[in-house]
Amino acid sequence: MTMNPEHFKHIGTRVTNDVVRPLDEQCNNLKKKVEQLEEQLKRYLRFEQCHRYLTNGETPDGFFGFSGTRAMFVRQYQARPPKHEEYQQVPRLTEVDLIIIPEVLVPHKVRVSIPTSTPGVFTEISTEVAVPGITERMIKHSGNAKNVSVGTFAEVGREQCPTCKNQVLLVGIDELIDIENGDYNFTVNRFCDVCLNVKAVAAFSETCRDPYSSTRYYDSTRGIYQH
């Protein structure tokens, strides 16, 4: 077709209607699909991470592995609705009865203190620790808390998953969430192996001041352990 002024004036309109708008709609649909896939991946990665926490019991992290995350199972718990000033999205955990189950733990490397030839001086190394050693370390980390005990799978509390309606395990994760500042957060979660989802149902942390600094504060979970 021979180009003429009238035809030329409407080129932009035709391109907008026939090319740009359809492609833009396709791009938006693809973006939504990618966002959905990213959310699914995020959920599956969290499930994978929490399962690793539970089979490790103690997962080293932080500066050379000196800090870390501990994960146990929950016999029962109590929580209250969050207060406005707490800025929590889930109920605040007030009490929890925790179970260490040696049968689900696997040997793995953790940081351990080894005595040197100098009396009273220790060095830290990364070495594989067997299940009894991991269990002992977890109990010691809790300060021999009254609400932490060794138990069996049959003792684990269960709640209904709102999605698949199955009764799923309750797990407790004492998680290092900020390596640099040493912040921890303790959550009770529904662990659904059907939906491959970990859903927090209660959480606990409290702000503490570093005894060696007048300006440094950090979030601690020590208060959840009963002595």
Question: Domain spans of the chain?
Answer: 39-224
CA proximity to 77, closest of 188, 175, 152, 161: 188
The whole-angstrom separation of Cα 171 and Cα 192 is 10
Between CA 45 and CA 126 the distance in angstroms is: 26
Distance, in Å, from the CA atom of 10 to the CA atom of 15, rounded to the nearest integer, reads 9
The pTM score is 0.84
Q: Which residues contact 15 (CB under 8 A, 6 or more apart)?
A: none
CA angle 94, 99, 104 (to 5 degrees): 140
Q: What is the pLDDT along the chain (227 residues), one digit of tens a residue?
A: 678 888 888 888 889 999 999 999 999 999 999 999 999 999 999 999 999 999 999 998 755 545 789 999 999 999 998 776 555 679 999 999 999 999 999 999 988 877 777 887 778 888 899 999 999 999 999 999 999 999 999 999 999 999 999 999 999 999 998 888 889 999 999 999 999 999 999 999 998 988 777 788 889 999 999 98
Rg of the chain, C-alpha, whole Å: 26
Cα-based distances in Å from 209 to 61, 185, 187, 224: 22, 16, 22, 17
Token pair 């979660």 is found at 189
To which residue do tokens 């020590």 refer?
222
Token couple for 167? 């009764």
How many angstroms separate the CA atoms of 49 and 58, rounded? 13
Residue 146 and residue 73: Cα distance in Å, rounded?
15
- Count of residues making up the chain: 227
CA distance 133 to 130: 5
